[in-house]
Structure 1
Amino acid sequence: MDFNQLDMENRDPNGINDHLKTGFDDVLAETDGTHSLDCIWKVAYCFFHGCKAFWYNLCTLLCGFFIACFWGIEFAAIAFGHVWCITPCLRVGMIHCNLCQKTLGTWVNCCFAPCCEVFGLIFSNIKIEKR
Protein backbone atom coordinates (compact mmCIF):
# COMPACT_ATOMS: atom_id res chain seq x y z
CA MET A 1 0.00 0.00 0.00
CA ASP A 2 1.24 3.44 -0.88
CA PHE A 3 0.00 5.84 1.80
CA ASN A 4 1.72 8.72 -0.02
CA GLN A 5 -1.15 8.75 -2.53
CA LEU A 6 -3.73 9.49 0.18
CA ASP A 7 -4.92 13.09 0.21
CA MET A 8 -5.21 13.76 3.93
CA GLU A 9 -6.77 17.20 3.39
CA ASN A 10 -9.44 16.54 0.75
CA ARG A 11 -10.85 13.13 1.72
CA ASP A 12 -13.84 13.41 -0.62
CA PRO A 13 -12.27 14.53 -3.91
CA ASN A 14 -15.23 13.26 -5.97
CA GLY A 15 -17.86 14.99 -3.82
CA ILE A 16 -19.62 11.72 -2.98
CA ASN A 17 -20.86 13.03 0.36
CA ASP A 18 -21.52 16.68 -0.45
CA HIS A 19 -25.02 16.25 0.96
CA LEU A 20 -23.50 15.75 4.42
CA LYS A 21 -21.90 19.19 4.55
CA THR A 22 -23.99 20.48 7.42
CA GLY A 23 -22.87 23.28 9.66
CA PHE A 24 -24.28 25.03 12.70
CA ASP A 25 -26.09 27.59 10.52
CA ASP A 26 -27.78 24.79 8.55
CA VAL A 27 -29.26 23.25 11.71
CA LEU A 28 -29.91 26.03 14.18
CA ALA A 29 -31.16 29.50 13.30
CA GLU A 30 -32.91 32.16 15.32
CA THR A 31 -35.30 34.47 13.55
CA ASP A 32 -35.43 38.21 14.13
CA GLY A 33 -37.03 38.99 17.45
CA THR A 34 -36.18 35.59 18.99
CA HIS A 35 -32.53 35.78 19.90
CA SER A 36 -30.97 34.03 22.85
CA LEU A 37 -28.17 35.65 24.81
CA ASP A 38 -25.01 36.05 22.76
CA CYS A 39 -22.99 33.93 25.17
CA ILE A 40 -25.55 31.09 24.88
CA TRP A 41 -25.40 31.26 21.08
CA LYS A 42 -21.57 31.14 21.09
CA VAL A 43 -21.50 28.25 23.58
CA ALA A 44 -24.13 26.38 21.53
CA TYR A 45 -21.92 26.86 18.47
CA CYS A 46 -18.91 25.43 20.31
CA PHE A 47 -20.93 22.51 21.72
CA PHE A 48 -22.40 21.70 18.31
CA HIS A 49 -19.03 21.50 16.60
CA GLY A 50 -17.30 19.86 19.55
CA CYS A 51 -19.95 17.16 20.02
CA LYS A 52 -20.20 16.53 16.30
CA ALA A 53 -16.41 16.04 16.02
CA PHE A 54 -16.17 13.97 19.24
CA TRP A 55 -18.99 11.56 18.39
CA TYR A 56 -17.93 11.19 14.77
CA ASN A 57 -14.38 10.35 15.84
CA LEU A 58 -15.61 7.98 18.56
CA CYS A 59 -17.92 6.15 16.13
CA THR A 60 -15.18 5.87 13.52
CA LEU A 61 -12.74 4.64 16.18
CA LEU A 62 -15.15 1.94 17.39
CA CYS A 63 -16.74 0.95 14.08
CA GLY A 64 -14.62 2.34 11.24
CA PHE A 65 -12.24 -0.61 10.95
CA PHE A 66 -15.04 -3.17 10.90
CA ILE A 67 -17.18 -1.22 8.44
CA ALA A 68 -14.19 -0.59 6.15
CA CYS A 69 -13.42 -4.33 6.30
CA PHE A 70 -17.05 -5.17 5.46
CA TRP A 71 -17.10 -2.82 2.46
CA GLY A 72 -13.72 -4.09 1.30
CA ILE A 73 -15.07 -7.65 1.35
CA GLU A 74 -18.30 -6.53 -0.35
CA PHE A 75 -16.53 -4.78 -3.24
CA ALA A 76 -14.04 -7.67 -3.55
CA ALA A 77 -17.03 -10.05 -3.86
CA ILE A 78 -18.61 -7.79 -6.49
CA ALA A 79 -15.35 -7.65 -8.46
CA PHE A 80 -14.92 -11.43 -8.13
CA GLY A 81 -18.48 -12.03 -9.31
CA HIS A 82 -18.07 -9.79 -12.32
CA VAL A 83 -14.63 -11.12 -13.33
CA TRP A 84 -15.34 -14.82 -12.83
CA CYS A 85 -19.12 -15.15 -13.39
CA ILE A 86 -21.06 -12.25 -14.87
CA THR A 87 -18.67 -11.11 -17.61
CA PRO A 88 -18.05 -14.66 -18.91
CA CYS A 89 -21.82 -15.32 -18.92
CA LEU A 90 -22.41 -12.10 -20.85
CA ARG A 91 -19.68 -13.08 -23.31
CA VAL A 92 -21.32 -16.51 -23.85
CA GLY A 93 -24.67 -14.78 -24.41
CA MET A 94 -23.11 -12.37 -26.91
CA ILE A 95 -21.52 -15.28 -28.81
CA HIS A 96 -24.86 -17.11 -29.01
CA CYS A 97 -26.76 -13.95 -29.97
CA ASN A 98 -24.18 -13.19 -32.67
CA LEU A 99 -24.71 -16.68 -34.11
CA CYS A 100 -28.50 -16.22 -34.01
CA GLN A 101 -28.20 -12.80 -35.65
CA LYS A 102 -26.07 -14.16 -38.50
CA THR A 103 -28.34 -17.17 -38.99
CA LEU A 104 -31.52 -15.10 -38.99
CA GLY A 105 -29.93 -12.46 -41.24
CA THR A 106 -28.87 -15.11 -43.75
CA TRP A 107 -32.33 -16.71 -43.68
CA VAL A 108 -34.06 -13.36 -44.20
CA ASN A 109 -31.68 -12.46 -47.06
CA CYS A 110 -32.25 -15.83 -48.76
CA CYS A 111 -36.03 -16.10 -48.31
CA PHE A 112 -37.51 -12.64 -47.96
CA ALA A 113 -35.10 -10.41 -49.88
CA PRO A 114 -35.99 -11.83 -53.31
CA CYS A 115 -39.72 -11.55 -52.52
CA CYS A 116 -39.33 -7.98 -51.34
CA GLU A 117 -37.30 -7.14 -54.43
CA VAL A 118 -39.98 -8.59 -56.71
CA PHE A 119 -42.78 -6.75 -54.92
CA GLY A 120 -40.71 -3.59 -55.06
CA LEU A 121 -40.33 -3.89 -58.81
CA ILE A 122 -44.04 -4.66 -59.24
CA PHE A 123 -45.23 -1.74 -57.16
CA SER A 124 -42.64 0.66 -58.56
CA ASN A 125 -44.43 0.60 -61.92
CA ILE A 126 -47.76 1.71 -60.44
CA LYS A 127 -48.55 5.27 -61.35
CA ILE A 128 -51.34 7.27 -59.72
CA GLU A 129 -52.85 10.12 -61.64
CA LYS A 130 -55.10 12.78 -60.19
CA ARG A 131 -58.09 13.92 -62.22
Structure 2
Amino acid sequence: MSDEYLVECKFDDDEEQENVHFSPSKATHKSSTPSMASQPSLIHIDNRDPYDINKHLKVEFSDVLAEPASTHSYDRVWVYSGIGFESARIWSYRCLTVLCAIPVSLLSGCLFALLACLHIWCVMPCIQVCHTCLPCVRSLWLSLVNIFITPFCESCSLVLDVSKWETQKI
Protein backbone atom coordinates (compact mmCIF):
# COMPACT_ATOMS: atom_id res chain seq x y z
CA MET A 1 0.00 0.00 0.00
CA SER A 2 1.45 3.36 -0.92
CA ASP A 3 1.60 6.25 1.52
CA GLU A 4 -0.80 8.40 -0.51
CA TYR A 5 -3.73 6.35 0.82
CA LEU A 6 -2.75 6.81 4.45
CA VAL A 7 -4.13 9.67 6.52
CA GLU A 8 -2.34 11.01 9.58
CA CYS A 9 -4.43 11.51 12.69
CA LYS A 10 -3.22 13.33 15.78
CA PHE A 11 -4.77 12.62 19.15
CA ASP A 12 -4.28 14.80 22.22
CA ASP A 13 -3.37 12.52 25.11
CA ASP A 14 -1.34 13.00 28.25
CA GLU A 15 1.15 10.51 26.85
CA GLU A 16 3.58 11.08 24.00
CA GLN A 17 1.82 11.78 20.70
CA GLU A 18 2.15 9.05 18.14
CA ASN A 19 1.71 9.09 14.38
CA VAL A 20 -1.29 6.86 13.83
CA HIS A 21 -2.51 6.05 10.35
CA PHE A 22 -5.74 4.56 9.14
CA SER A 23 -7.27 3.74 5.84
CA PRO A 24 -9.63 6.40 4.45
CA SER A 25 -12.07 3.74 3.30
CA LYS A 26 -12.59 2.68 6.91
CA ALA A 27 -12.76 6.27 8.11
CA THR A 28 -15.44 7.30 5.64
CA HIS A 29 -17.51 4.18 6.30
CA LYS A 30 -20.74 5.30 7.92
CA SER A 31 -21.98 3.12 10.71
CA SER A 32 -25.44 2.96 12.16
CA THR A 33 -24.13 4.07 15.54
CA PRO A 34 -22.21 7.35 15.84
CA SER A 35 -19.73 5.92 18.36
CA MET A 36 -18.51 3.33 15.86
CA ALA A 37 -18.05 5.97 13.11
CA SER A 38 -15.95 8.18 15.39
CA GLN A 39 -13.55 5.32 16.25
CA PRO A 40 -12.00 3.96 13.04
CA SER A 41 -9.80 0.89 13.03
CA LEU A 42 -6.28 2.16 13.81
CA ILE A 43 -3.04 0.64 12.62
CA HIS A 44 0.31 1.68 14.07
CA ILE A 45 2.52 2.10 11.02
CA ASP A 46 5.56 3.92 12.41
CA ASN A 47 6.25 2.12 15.68
CA ARG A 48 5.68 -1.61 15.16
CA ASP A 49 7.81 -2.72 18.13
CA PRO A 50 6.98 -0.18 20.88
CA TYR A 51 8.34 -2.37 23.70
CA ASP A 52 11.56 -3.42 21.92
CA ILE A 53 10.65 -7.09 22.05
CA ASN A 54 12.80 -7.85 19.02
CA LYS A 55 15.72 -5.49 19.60
CA HIS A 56 18.12 -8.42 19.19
CA LEU A 57 17.03 -8.75 15.54
CA LYS A 58 18.28 -5.31 14.49
CA VAL A 59 21.11 -6.67 12.36
CA GLU A 60 23.16 -4.59 9.96
CA PHE A 61 25.84 -5.55 7.45
CA SER A 62 28.66 -4.50 9.78
CA ASP A 63 27.25 -6.75 12.54
CA VAL A 64 27.72 -9.81 10.32
CA LEU A 65 30.65 -9.11 8.00
CA ALA A 66 33.81 -7.14 8.72
CA GLU A 67 37.21 -6.92 7.08
CA PRO A 68 40.25 -6.25 9.23
CA ALA A 69 42.57 -3.43 8.28
CA SER A 70 45.27 -5.85 7.07
CA THR A 71 43.05 -7.48 4.42
CA HIS A 72 40.67 -5.48 2.25
CA SER A 73 38.85 -6.58 -0.85
CA TYR A 74 38.11 -4.18 -3.69
CA ASP A 75 35.97 -1.26 -2.64
CA ARG A 76 33.27 -2.11 -5.19
CA VAL A 77 33.12 -5.70 -3.91
CA TRP A 78 32.60 -4.42 -0.37
CA VAL A 79 29.89 -1.94 -1.45
CA TYR A 80 28.07 -4.49 -3.60
CA SER A 81 28.32 -7.08 -0.83
CA GLY A 82 26.64 -4.65 1.54
CA ILE A 83 23.94 -3.87 -0.98
CA GLY A 84 23.43 -7.58 -1.66
CA PHE A 85 23.23 -8.39 2.05
CA GLU A 86 20.70 -5.65 2.80
CA SER A 87 18.62 -6.42 -0.28
CA ALA A 88 18.55 -10.16 0.44
CA ARG A 89 17.70 -9.56 4.10
CA ILE A 90 14.90 -7.10 3.37
CA TRP A 91 13.34 -8.90 0.41
CA SER A 92 13.61 -12.35 1.98
CA TYR A 93 11.89 -11.03 5.08
CA ARG A 94 9.18 -9.37 3.00
CA CYS A 95 8.55 -12.54 0.98
CA LEU A 96 8.47 -14.71 4.09
CA THR A 97 6.06 -12.35 5.84
CA VAL A 98 3.75 -12.41 2.80
CA LEU A 99 3.66 -16.20 3.09
CA CYS A 100 3.70 -16.59 6.86
CA ALA A 101 2.45 -13.44 8.62
CA ILE A 102 -1.28 -13.89 8.21
CA PRO A 103 -1.39 -17.64 9.05
CA VAL A 104 0.94 -17.18 12.04
CA SER A 105 -1.06 -14.21 13.31
CA LEU A 106 -4.28 -16.20 12.97
CA LEU A 107 -2.77 -19.15 14.83
CA SER A 108 -1.38 -16.82 17.51
CA GLY A 109 -4.76 -15.18 17.90
CA CYS A 110 -6.45 -18.58 18.24
CA LEU A 111 -3.81 -19.72 20.75
CA PHE A 112 -4.25 -16.61 22.91
CA ALA A 113 -8.03 -16.95 22.66
CA LEU A 114 -7.74 -20.58 23.80
CA LEU A 115 -5.47 -19.59 26.69
CA ALA A 116 -7.82 -16.79 27.71
CA CYS A 117 -10.81 -19.16 27.56
CA LEU A 118 -9.03 -21.79 29.65
CA HIS A 119 -7.91 -19.18 32.15
CA ILE A 120 -11.36 -17.63 32.47
CA TRP A 121 -13.43 -20.82 32.49
CA CYS A 122 -11.08 -23.40 34.07
CA VAL A 123 -8.17 -21.94 36.01
CA MET A 124 -9.91 -19.07 37.82
CA PRO A 125 -12.93 -21.15 38.92
CA CYS A 126 -10.55 -23.79 40.34
CA ILE A 127 -8.62 -21.10 42.19
CA GLN A 128 -11.86 -19.60 43.54
CA VAL A 129 -13.05 -23.03 44.71
CA CYS A 130 -9.71 -23.55 46.47
CA HIS A 131 -9.99 -20.15 48.14
CA THR A 132 -13.51 -21.04 49.24
CA CYS A 133 -12.57 -24.47 50.63
CA LEU A 134 -9.20 -23.60 52.12
CA PRO A 135 -10.52 -21.99 55.34
CA CYS A 136 -12.24 -25.26 56.26
CA VAL A 137 -9.15 -27.28 55.40
CA ARG A 138 -6.98 -24.77 57.30
CA SER A 139 -9.04 -25.07 60.47
CA LEU A 140 -8.96 -28.89 60.22
CA TRP A 141 -5.19 -28.83 59.66
CA LEU A 142 -4.64 -26.48 62.62
CA SER A 143 -6.69 -28.78 64.83
CA LEU A 144 -4.63 -31.81 63.78
CA VAL A 145 -1.39 -29.91 64.34
CA ASN A 146 -2.51 -28.72 67.79
CA ILE A 147 -3.68 -32.19 68.82
CA PHE A 148 -0.82 -34.37 67.53
CA ILE A 149 2.22 -32.47 66.35
CA THR A 150 2.48 -29.62 68.88
CA PRO A 151 2.55 -31.88 71.99
CA PHE A 152 5.10 -34.18 70.33
CA CYS A 153 7.37 -31.27 69.39
CA GLU A 154 7.07 -29.74 72.87
CA SER A 155 7.98 -33.08 74.45
CA CYS A 156 10.99 -33.45 72.18
CA SER A 157 12.14 -29.93 73.03
CA LEU A 158 11.87 -30.66 76.76
CA VAL A 159 13.78 -33.93 76.40
CA LEU A 160 16.52 -32.32 74.33
CA ASP A 161 16.84 -29.21 76.48
CA VAL A 162 20.21 -29.93 78.12
CA SER A 163 20.23 -26.82 80.32
CA LYS A 164 17.23 -28.07 82.31
CA TRP A 165 18.94 -31.45 82.90
CA GLU A 166 21.86 -29.91 84.72
CA THR A 167 19.65 -27.88 87.06
CA GLN A 168 17.44 -30.87 87.93
CA LYS A 169 20.11 -33.48 88.78
CA ILE A 170 19.13 -35.84 91.56
**Could you say whether these structures have the same fold, taking a TM-score greater than 0.5 normalized by the shorter chain as the test?**
yes
State the distance in 2 between where 1:111 and 1:28 align: 72
Q: Out of 26, 33, 42, which is 2:79 matched to?
A: 42
Q: Structure 1 residue 2 and structure 2 residue 34: aligned? A: no
Q: Does structure 1 residue 87 correspond to structure 2 residue 144?
A: no
Find the aligned partners of 1:18 and 1:65 in 2 and give their Cα distance: 22
Bigger proportion of residues as helix: 1
Q: CA deviation at 1:112?
A: 8.6
Q: Which residue of structure 1 lines up, in the alignment, with residue 135 of structure 2?
A: 98
- Tell me the residue number matched to 1:76: 113
Separation in 1, partners of 2:64, 2:148: 72
Match of 2:115, SS state, is helix
Corresponding residue for residue 92 of structure 2 = 55
Cα RMSD over matched residues?
3.0
**Aligned equivalents of 1:71 and 1:53: distance in 2?**
24
- Where structure 2 has 5 or more consecutive residues not aligned to the other structure, the ranges are 1-39, 151-163
| Residues 106 and 50 of structure 1: CA distance in aligned 2, closer, same or farther (over 3 Å) | same
How many aligned residue pairs are there? 126
- Percent identity, please: 32
Distance 2:144 2:115 in 1: 41
**1:3 match: secondary structure:** coil
Compute the displacement of 1:16 (Å): 1.0
- Structure 2 match to 1:116: none
Matched, 1:21 2:58: yes
> For residues 18-58 of structure 1, what are the alpha-carbon distances to aligned partners after superposition, in whole Å with 9 as ceiling and x for unaligned?
11111111100111211111111111111111111101011
User: In 2, Cα distance between the equivalents of 1:35 and 1:42?
Assistant: 12
**Could you report, residue by residue, the CA deviation over 1:60-89 in whole angstroms, capped at 9, with x for unpaired residues?**
011111111000000100000000011111
**Whole-angstrom distance in 1 between the partners of 2:138 and 2:144:** 10
The separation in 2 between residues aligned to 1:98 and 1:38, in whole angstroms, is: 77
Q: Hey, what's the Cα distance between the residues in 2 that align with 1:35 and 1:81?
A: 59
Compare relative contact order (CA 8 Å, sep 6+) and give the higher one, 1 or 2. 1
The unaligned stretches of length 5 or more in structure 1 are 114-125
How many angstroms does 1:94 deviate by? Answer: 2.1
Q: Distance in 2 between matches of 1:46 and 1:30?
A: 16
Q: 1:112 to 1:57 in 2, by over 3 A?
A: closer
User: For residue 89 of structure 1, what is the amino acid of its counterpart?
Assistant: C
Distance in structure 2 (CA, Å) of the matches to 1:14 and 1:67: 20
